[in-house]
């Protein structure tokens, strides 16, 4: 069974993402901020991460930088799912190692399609 880590400071968004992906029959872990995401990585294997950028304490770009800097986690696909629509944010996230950049609000079917693609 695949393990998906959903990192977002909004419990509602975390639930919506998990509900959108329920048909995958994956195991879902949640983290409410960047530090909790890194702690989760150290405790559980992760097959894919869905990462918000704007979070208190530790910004999503810092999480992305941490993950890509460590050999153990480097190959984890990371889908950035954020409210930031601007080209600079997209370019920065992709340059930092994001596998895909999607914006909120999101289409559940589109997210499911992309996550399925990365997990296959």
Indicate the pairing of strand 78-82 with strand 100-103.
parallel
Q: Is 18 exposed, middle or buried (0-12, 13-18, 19+ CB in 10 A)?
A: middle
- What pLDDT, on a 0 to 100 scale, did the predictor assign at position 106? 97
Residues 92, 72: Cα–Cα separation, whole Å: 23
The more confident residue out of 25 and 83 is 83
Residue 25 has pLDDT above 90, yes or no: no
Instruction: State pLDDT tens for residues 83-109.
Output: 999 999 999 999 999 999 999 999 999
- What pLDDT, on a 0 to 100 scale, did the predictor assign at position 21? 98
pTM here is 0.96
Residue 54 has pLDDT above 90, yes or no: yes
- What pLDDT, on a 0 to 100 scale, did the predictor assign at position 78? 98
Domain architecture of the chain: domains with CATH: 3-119 (3.40.50.2300)
Residue 43 has pLDDT above 90, yes or no: yes
Residues 16, 65: Cα–Cα separation, whole Å: 26
């Amino acid at each position: 069974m695949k393990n998906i880590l959903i990192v977002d400071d909004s419990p509602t968004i975390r639930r919506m993402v998990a509900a959108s992906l329920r048909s995958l029959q994956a195991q879902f872990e949640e983290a409410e901020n960047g530090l909790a995401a890194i702690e989760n990585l150290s405790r559980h294997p992760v097959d894919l991460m869905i990462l918000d950028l704007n979070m208190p304490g530790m910004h999503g770009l810092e999480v992305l930088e941490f993950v890509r800097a460590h050999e153990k986690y480097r190959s984890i696909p990371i889908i950035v799912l954020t409210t930031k629509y601007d080209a600079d944010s997209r370019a920065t996230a992709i340059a930092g190692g994001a596998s895909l950049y999607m914006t909120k609000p999101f289409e559940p079917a589109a997210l499911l399609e992309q996550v399925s693609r990365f997990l296959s």
